[in-house]
Amino acid sequence: MKNDCVFCAIEAGEIPSQKVYEDERMFVIKDIEPKAPVHYLAIPKRHYKLLRDMTDADRDDLGKIFATIPAVADRLGLQNGYRLIVNQGDDAGQTVFHLHIHILGGHAMDFPEL
Ligand code: AMP
């Protein structure tokens, strides 16, 4: 756990959240400022700031997290599809520096040029 990290504080139960899934390595919460009709965050329990901070063993953790997301998406009613976003750093607009995967869906989405 890292001090001053909002997702570590949520994991520790110090900040309330709407948790829809949890296992030994990850949890999934509703995003507090949804950017789509359905917007959740899949968050590793271990604090990684960025993908570049992960070791090979950590990447195994991340692979298992990605493998869990389809079942969580089904539970969220996203059978028609969804988008995963992992912001990395300032240019991507990352605001919480604890690795997380956005799960977005609930309507058809464009894929605009950025
Ligand atoms: P990013 O910009 O990729 O770092 O995304 C951070 C996300 O965390 C944003 O979509 C925020 O709305 C969301 N967020 C920040 N604080 C909380 C919180 N306490 N509970 C749920 N989501 C949060």
Q: What pLDDT, in 10s, does the model give residues 4-14? A: 999 999 999 99
Q: Is the CB of 15 under 6 A from ligand 1?
A: yes
Strand order in the sheet with 101-105: 19-22, 26-30, 38-44, 101-105, 82-85
pTM above 0.95, yes or no: yes
What integer pLDDT is reported at residue 114 of this predicted model?
A: 78
Q: Is the CB of 32 under 6 A from ligand 1?
A: yes
Neighbouring C-alpha atoms within 13 Å toward the C-beta of 71: 9
Give 110's DSSP letter.
-
Q: Is 39 a catalytic residue?
A: no
Which residues of the chain are under the pLDDT cut of 70?
A: none
What integer pLDDT is reported at residue 2 of this predicted model?
A: 80
Report CA-CA distances (Å) from 61 to 23, 25, 33: 12, 7, 27
Count the neighbouring beta carbons within 10 Å of the beta carbon of residue 83. 12
